[in-house]
Structure 1
Amino acid sequence: MRLTFVAKDPNSNPTNSPTLYRTDRGSWLVQGFVVTDPEALAEMDIPEGESVVEIPDRMIQFFTEEGRGVAG
């Protein structure tokens, strides 16, 4: 799998996490904050081998070509 860096959260200090990547498989990888809230996790059906990360709304803009400053 090849990754293309898309964006780091510009308003998060000191690590600029979460981070968003695009893959050559037509998918996205999101590095974010691990969700540990037991009530939130209980509401989801998370299979073994998967996890949940949280990203702020301000990162959604980077999921579009326009938000990444890419023409097309």
Structure 2
Amino acid sequence: MRVTKLASTCENGDCPTLYATDRDTILIRGETPVDHGLALPAHETVVEIPVELLRKVLRDQRI
């Protein structure tokens, strides 16, 4: 899988980031919340990212 960085909350380091893949999918890097109360199957997870990260990607029209 090829991954291309779309937008991040910082230039370098460990921070929320959105990536596009060559499979026409999006990868999301963020915090793993523990207090969400959702019932998830073992093969799924959720991540938490700032709303501003989505706004930045849409504003920059990278997807």
Give the TM-score normalised by the residue count of structure 2: 0.76
Amino acid corresponding to residue 60 of structure 2 in structure 1: R
Q: Runs of 5+ in structure 1 lacking a partner? A: none
Larger relative CO (CA 8 A, sep 6+): 1 or 2? Answer: 2
When the two chains are superposed, the root-mean-square deviation of aligned CA atoms in Å is: 2.0
Identity %: 35
Of 38, 42, 52, which residue of structure 2 is paired with 1:48?
A: 42
* Equivalent residue letter for 1:26: D
Q: Which has the higher helix share?
A: 1
Cα deviation for residue 50 of structure 1 reads 1.4
Q: Counterpart of 1:4 in structure 2: which amino acid? A: T
Runs of 4+ in 1 over 3 A off after TM superposition: none
The alpha-carbon deviation at position 58 of structure 1 amounts to 0.3
Give, in angstroms, the shift of residue 69 of structure 1.
Answer: 5.2
Segments of structure 2 that go 5 or more residues without pairing to the other structure are none
Equivalent position of 1:58 in the other structure: 52
Given the two structures, how large is their TM-score scaled by the length of structure 1? 0.68
